Amino acid sequence: MTGITEHLNRLNCRISKALANSGRGPDDAQLLAVSKRHDMAAILDAAANGLTDFGENYVSEAVEKIKTAPPELNWHFIGRIQSNKTREIATHFDWVQTVDRAKIARRLNEQRPDDAEALQVLIQVQTDPEDQHGGVSPGELAGLAQLIDELPRLQLRGLMCIPAPSTNIEQQQKPFRLMKELFSQLQSDGHDIDTLSMGMSNDLEAAIIEGSTMVRIGTDLFGPRPT
């Protein structure tokens, strides 16, 4: 049994327990493997253990992996988006989880290849005004969601967030509860969305309680990142 197999078994137990405790089904939350800084050997090991979706933060590093990876893997961009990187992101990734402004959405739409399927998009929401991770404010969310729905090469799938870290589960739940409310409001407004990407290694239980459908796990799956 490899280290990744052991780590994945533990993570699956945590996710299953959190789902059961929340009264949700066993398949209601997916694990996104955050593979930034890890090599293809680690990614292939994770894929051999049944994982299909991988998250990357750095465009150039990710593109090199994507070019040599098995075609059945799905690649999610989860880092801050620079305008000069949108063409590479639009060309090589299947999902983009960190769209937070109209300019980026329009560039991704314009630069998505004509022969590719629609780029699956999540809007990153800023749950704390002091947060430095980026994200659209809750008050501007509806307008950005409407814009994305009108762009033909983008498919809006839902929301993501990166809240401030906390060790208190009640404090952890607050931003996730806000996200669920915003998500439900978008659905009520007619947006066909199904994905809430929230929760990482230290707060996945709190995220699942509040409705996360995708948790993003790096170190607890792959181990420490190489320097």
| Tens digits of residue pLDDT in 189-210 | 999 999 999 999 999 999 999 9
Contact 117, 91 (CB under 8 A): no
Can you tell me whether residue 82 is helix, strand or coil? coil
What does the pLDDT read at residue 1?
53
Question: How many helices (H) and strands (E) in the chain?
Answer: 9, 8
User: Nearest-CA neighbor of 85 among 96, 69, 75?
Assistant: 96
What does the pLDDT read at residue 128?
84
Residue 133 has pLDDT above 90, yes or no: no
59-112 tens-digit pLDDT: 999 999 999 999 999 999 999 999 999 999 999 999 999 999 999 999 999 999
Tokens of 220: 């607890």
CA 181, 185, 187, 191 torsion-angle sign: negative
Residue 132 has pLDDT above 80, yes or no: no
Domain 3-217, architecture per CATH: Alpha-Beta Barrel (3.20)
